[in-house]
Structure 1
Amino acid sequence: MSTETQNIIIQKIAKSKISEVDFSNLAFGSVFTDHMYVCDFKDGEWQTPTIKPYGPISIDPSAKVFHYGQAVFEGMKAYKAEDDSIWMFRPEENQKRINFSANRLQMPSFPKEMFFDGLETLLKLDRDWIQKGEGNSMYIRPFVIATESGVSASPSKEYKFMFILSPAQSYFKGGGSDVKVLFADKYSRSANGGVGAAKAAGNYAGQFYPTHLAQEQGYQQVVWTDANTHEFLEEAGVMNVFFRVGDTLLTAPTSDRILDGITRKSIIQVAQDMGISVEVRNVRVSEIVDAAKNGTLLEMFGAGTAAVINPIAGFGCKGEDYTLPKLENSYAMLLRKRITDIQTNKAEDKHGWRYKVKE
């Protein structure tokens, strides 16, 4: 059945597959809802979008996304409150950032009104997939790919913008308490003047091999260091990273090498609200190693949309392993609870971060 709103063509699925899903046993990013949102860019403008049943898309083998890597994406979440209302967390930041990423790769911006109209319509259509309860959410993946046919080395003239939805539980099973990381001293995630600050698909592809090498040594992720000297700590795997030395939180400043994480800046603000000292500055590898040796390094944790906050149990550096203490009232857990309470409408939102999906 096909219907049309003022701005979107809607093709509803004949029969939902929701009854086939075990919501108590979800592997992150492996199950998708009944529908997806698709909008094509042709002849210099975005066309009328369609919401259709989730499924494969047809694309030419010479599409430029395959050959020149014009692909960007975002990660967002929606939550269902006890009264069945649907909420998102700082979605305006994701909307701005996907356009920043697109522009960096010479791709067209996607209009804000179309972004929110499409996303809210899709969430309402698949609202039964958004589960209530602690740790449950709907992971939202907006992305843009170059679809023009041809292998000339030039920006595409055609693109496809999409939303797909995936019900989610906790990203890291067991709370991430056993995660160990390796400080990079050879490979780099990004460099000055590069695309590290954009959520470009190729950024993640480039991480897989050195992360695989780290995993062979018993680590789950890599903490990336600056490409020039490997003296400064920058990001952890696919997350921003924080260090607690004494009672102070340290994290690297954003730059054209480091993603301006939405969870990252939310943590900084919430920590300051709680009276926790936060220093946003360059963090030396030697400083963290010394703190681990003298016992003042109390915590490390990653921060990102999927996990919110993921504690790190220890790290390796230049052949040495360091284990962090286990704390009952860690900053990681205090901050995670404060942020997730805001996200799920259980706590005051004095910064206006929550976004209610219109009924």
Structure 2
Amino acid sequence: MRYHDNIARSTEHLRAALPLMTRQRAALHPISYAVWYEFVSAINPPLSQAVLKHTAQGATLDEAQTWALYREHIGESLSSSDAEESRRLSEGLVRVLDTMAASAAEAGQETARFDNSLNNWVEQLLSSPSQQTHQDVLQELLNGTREIRGAMAVLQSQLAQSRHEISTLRDEVQKARSEALTDALTGLANRRAFDQQLSACMSNSPAQAQQEAPCLVLGDIDFFKRINDSFGHGFGDQVLRIVAQTLKNVAADQALAARVGGEEFALLLPTASLGQAQLLAEKLRSTVAAGRIRRGNVAQDIERVTISMGVTQWQRGESANSFYERADRALYASKHGGRNCVTVLEAQAA
């Protein structure tokens, strides 16, 4: 899951994001909220740089720019169902903001009325210092105080309800955002999430030469088409899920495991050396090869599933495409070198 903020921290981000959202020319909806939430939380450096560029010298984002930022740096293109969910969440957010604005306006009106009453009571006391006048004014003051107290109680109740609705909307936006970056079949990160993390990893990579640059491991299930043709796509999906789970189990805590293609997987290692990445790839290869997958209730195991792997390390200054393509060439070498093996390709040898 991309978001790990607790309620207190996410509330701080909400408070920081809303004023920025209201200054833009775009409508207040979950897409806009996602852009500004990631901006204020500083979890998406490429997005932050793009926002700063678009808003330089006091410029504001319009609807088209907001959606473009979302598509490029956060989520994938919305399907019709996604668009409907976005519309529903947008209406919910606007409704909450309208309620809060109406509550604040009502509280302001009550406060103004109470202020006018106080001024009138003071004038009465000054113009007629009799005991009866004092008693009447004090009674009116007591009644007015009760009224303002009741109005404040209503406002507090409305604000509490608004906070609850905002919390619900936030959870729904985060869920939608998480689903947009997750491969539905395997539960791994999808290609969009991988590309974003790769970009962030390269941006945050240490400048010191003695520190390790990120490593990338690509894996592709051998003869996967034959598995699908022989046993059906349902079993093929089972194979994909099992390989994905193996990848999760083998991966280091800070690694990103992703499904980047049909039967192709990636493991992004931000802090591992090339040797460590090779050992991890070999462990993954041998674990997959040692397993046996049963088909439904059939007791007999099918022939073993194997995976070919390519490993490389990022060279400082190169592009993400160059980095990925070198790992892909290493994978290609494994495929043409007999499969079920690991090939390491260093930048200098590419």
TM range, smaller chain:
under 0.3
**Length-normalised TM-score, structure 2:** 0.24
Higher relative contact order (CA 8 A, sep 6+): 1
**Length-normalised TM-score, structure 1:** 0.24
Structure index of larger Rg: 2
